[in-house]
Amino acid sequence: MADAEAAKPKSGGARQCSVCNQKRAALKRPKTLQQICRDCFYSAFEEEVHNVIVGNQLFKRGERIAIGASGGKDSTVLAYVLSELNRRHNYGLDLFLLSVDEGITGYRDDSLETVQRNKIQYGLPLKVVSYKELYGWTMDEIVKMIGLKNNCTFCGVFRRQALDRGAAMLQVDKLATGHNADDVAETVLLNILRGDIARLSRCTSIVTGEDGPIPRCIYSPNAYRGFAREFIKDLERIRPRAILDIIKSGENFRISASTKMPEQGTCERCGYISSQKWCKACVLLEGLNQGLPKLGIGRTRGLNNDHKMDATQTSGSKPCGTLDF
């Protein structure tokens, strides 16, 4: 009788973990609505990531994988879980940390210190590429010229290309990025609102950019843009699974066979992937170098007589953080 009484979960208001029925629940998982303790969450999380990797055959033994490391929580978790699972399950991968130094005083300096700690903690090589090295400009210098209003356009475009260039320097096979379910759901909504069928058709894919320089693996195991973020968070408060439902809708999106899709080419200037003569980064960079920083942002026509670019070529900038798959 005494043993039976001891086996019962203790009462007192606190919910017990629905998995182990021993420890106090620390969170409610939106995906399963389970009340779960910290240790059981860690185990479930790591096992789900492993199942996604194996089930989708994301990696092959011997591949070189760059992990986009910003120093933030998502990329830090990604670095930990990939290095841990690679060791635990013997994937046979060569992992590298890849960071971008935008040149933002007092911001990127601190986050790069976190990445340096990750390098030591997880025993992973680190490569840092900078805007100054790649483009001749830091974000601080760009902000002095352009102001605060449009600086995210430059940062987002330059960062995406910088990651690809850094991955090419490391000669990796794939680039893994730490985007979470919120990011993917926001991107689905924004692509719907923009009517961007091409990006909508691929923004929920677990591997993207296979026709580009480096394929990207999107980390979203629990799988900002202004109003989209607020709207999604409002939905989540009403229905916890709302974020996952939006992602599922994106996954179920189908394009009519008669829909004409944009053709992907390469930039005549730098060789980067582009559907226009010049990629967005080169357009923005040319504007900076000519002292006309808004050249690639507004509805202005033409860089010069040889490369006239109308609004469809020079506009279309995306807010900082948008997943441009």
Which residues fall in the annotated binding site?
68-70, 74, 100, 178, 183
165 membership: H or E segment, kind and range: helix 151-170
Are 174 and 59 in contact, with CB atoms under 8 Å apart?
Answer: yes
Structure tokens at 148: 């605060």
Beta bridge partners of 217: 176, 207
Q: 5-14 b/e with 16+ CB inside 10 Å = b? A: eeeeeeeeee
Distance CA 182, CA 239 (A): 14
In degrees, rounded to 5, the angle at the alpha carbon of residue 126 between the alpha carbons of residues 94 and 46 is 55
Distance CA 58, CA 64 (A): 12
Residues making up the chain, counted from first to last: 325
Are 191 and 238 in contact, with CB atoms under 8 Å apart?
Answer: no
Q: Which residues are annotated as a binding site for ATP?
A: 68-70, 74, 100, 178, 183
186 membership: H or E segment, kind and range: helix 181-194
